[in-house]
Copies of this chain bind each other. A is one copy, B any other.
Amino acid sequence: MPRKSTPKPYHHGDLKNALVAAGLHILNEQGAGALNLREVARRAEVSHTAPYRHFPDKQALIAAIAEQGFEMLADEIRRSDASASAGAVEKLIAAGSTYVMFALDHPAHIKLMFSRDNVRAADSDLYRISKFGFEYMVRTIQTGQQKGELGMSDPVDGAKHLWSALHGLAMLAIERQLVMLNDLPEDQFRAGLQSEARALVRVVLAGSASPNLQKS
């Protein structure tokens, strides 16, 4: 008899990806506290030991979920680059805003992505993709300098400052540490944070271009 289209979704072919998808779902719906191997197995409808056929331990599954997160973030940055207008400043503002909005939309996921406790360093694919955002900023700054749109001295320093500022804003936002935004309704929180992100990129770019910064 021919297989129906939805009887046993995996159980054989693609359990590995199904487990990652299940983990992602749990992370988004129930948060990091609910992300455990047995729950993942339950959602994928396999026994609680089945995941061990595909991942050596819990950390390996989490690393795979983190990698998927960095790929999602890289996709969004590429999309933001494509739809932003041509100038380097505009592209950096768009990418910065995208980074912070990604964090707001996937708070548990981005915390997991940047948690050394959860994510082993060993995986080189994970390492590579985790640097995408930073390298995008370096490249965009370099291009902007060549076109005379940015007055910054060192692109790597500039990207470091931008990334620090954006990452900090994102983390403080998802931990509800930004008092001025906390009491706003969901949609205004989002709009307010986006505006903060854009302003922050402008401030860092302006500061990086400022000539009178002696070393210390």
Which residues of A pack against B, CB within 8 Å? 31-33, 93, 114-117, 121, 130-131, 134, 156-157, 160-161, 163-172, 174-180, 195-196, 198-200, 202-208, 210, 212-213, 215-216
Interchain nearest-CB distance for A62 vs B (Å): 13
Quickly give the copy total for this chain: 2
Q: Can you show 16 pairs from A to B with CB atoms below 8 A apart?
A: A93-B216, A114-B175, A116-B176, A131-B179, A161-B165, A163-B168, A165-B200, A167-B168, A167-B172, A168-B169, A199-B213, A202-B207, A203-B204, A203-B208, A206-B212, A207-B207
Residues of chain B within 8 A of A116, CB atoms compared: 174-176
Pick from B115, B163, B204: contact of A207, CB under 8 Å = B204
Residues of chain B within 8 A of A205, CB atoms compared: 207
A141 to B212, CA, bound (A): 19
A161 to B200, CA, bound (A): 6
New A-B pairs, 17, CB < 8 Å, besides A93-B216, A161-B204, A205-B207: A32-B117, A33-B117, A115-B175, A121-B176, A130-B177, A160-B178, A161-B200, A163-B168, A164-B165, A165-B204, A195-B216, A199-B213, A199-B215, A202-B207, A203-B210, A206-B207, A207-B207
A117 to B176, CA, bound (A): 11
Q: Which chain B residue lies CB-closest to A211?
A: B206
Q: Are B203 and A114 in contact (CB under 8 A)?
A: no
Q: Are A156 and B180 in contact (CB under 8 A)?
A: yes
Q: Are A171 and B175 in contact (CB under 8 A)?
A: no
Residues of chain B within 8 A of A200, CB atoms compared: 161, 164-165
